[in-house]
Structure 1
Amino acid sequence: MEHLHTISHIEIPAPDFTKAIDFYTHVFGWGIELVTVGHYAFYTIGNTGRGGAFDSSLMPAPEKTGPQVVIDVEDISVMLKSIKTNGGEVILEKTEIPGGHGYYAAFKDPNGNYMQIHARQ
């Protein structure tokens, strides 16, 4: 297999399924394919064929616990405005990563999932 030992799928808790789908399609432009209405929906990121799923049977973990999901974006400031406009909450404003690794910010989506965004500038 070509993609052995890579992450193939990330499930995002979505107790409020509709809010999750609306938020990620509007903020990040992810494509959605409903599998079973009200429980599970696959998402794809751009034309990569990669993504994961929203699962309404999962509950968000407490902030900063477990694996952290970081989404690459072009402009953090623009994305933070979109996150707020679409029902998300900014937890950490744009912050420089030492060593020339760019910047990151943190937010909670409308279901309370703690997520991060990253940009080179």
Structure 2
Amino acid sequence: MVRNHRWRCHRLHSFYSELFGWKIDANNEMQYGLAAAEDAGIGGGIGPDAEGGPGYVTFYIDVDDINAYTVKVEQLGGKIIMPPTELSDFNMTFAQFADPEGHVIGLTQSTRQ
């Protein structure tokens, strides 16, 4: 499970739902958005936390077209931190982006034939 806590979590629910097609259920008292593993490929959640918390987690999501996702990130208000970069020794391409709240997330795409 990957957790991503911020006060303006409803904006992040919308961002990740639109970016990856996740169905995020935040119908609870804390407005904690849950993405089921079968929808997201990973189980996870996005919820509120106290303002000023220093912690963060960077997680990577495997996608089928990393270039298309980096374009979509920017269209949805995110920022590319590291453009798609091939790591031939690992048979993969990876990229990093910041979501609209500044959380850094990674993308990976296999380059194996």
**TM-score > 0.5 by shorter chain:** yes
Contact 1:30 1:45 in 2 (8 A): no
Once the two structures are superposed, the pairs formed by residues 1-121 of structure 1 within 5 Å of their partners are 9-36=1-28, 39-47=31-39, 50-57=42-49, 67-121=57-111
Structure 2 CA distance for aligned equivalents of residues 41 and 87 of structure 1: 20
- Runs of at least 5 residues in structure 1 that lack an aligned partner in the other structure: 1-8
- Cα distance, 1:31 vs. partner? 1.1
- Runs of at least 5 residues in structure 2 that lack an aligned partner in the other structure: none
Contact 1:34 1:42 in 2 (8 A): yes
Aligned with 2:74: secondary structure? helix
Contact 1:75 1:119 in 2 (8 A): yes
Structure 1 CA distance for aligned equivalents of residues 41 and 73 of structure 2: 24
- TM-score after normalising by structure 1: 0.77
Contact 1:30 1:46 in 2 (8 A): no
* Residue type at the aligned position of 1:16: R
Instruction: Give % identity.
Output: 23
- Cα distance, 1:94 vs. partner? 0.5
Please provide the CA RMSD for this pair: 2.6
Judging changes above 3 Å, is the alpha-carbon distance between structure 1 residues 69 and 102 closer, same or farther for their aligned structure 2 residues? Answer: same
How many pairs align?
111
Structure 2 CA distance for aligned equivalents of residues 108 and 11 of structure 1: 16
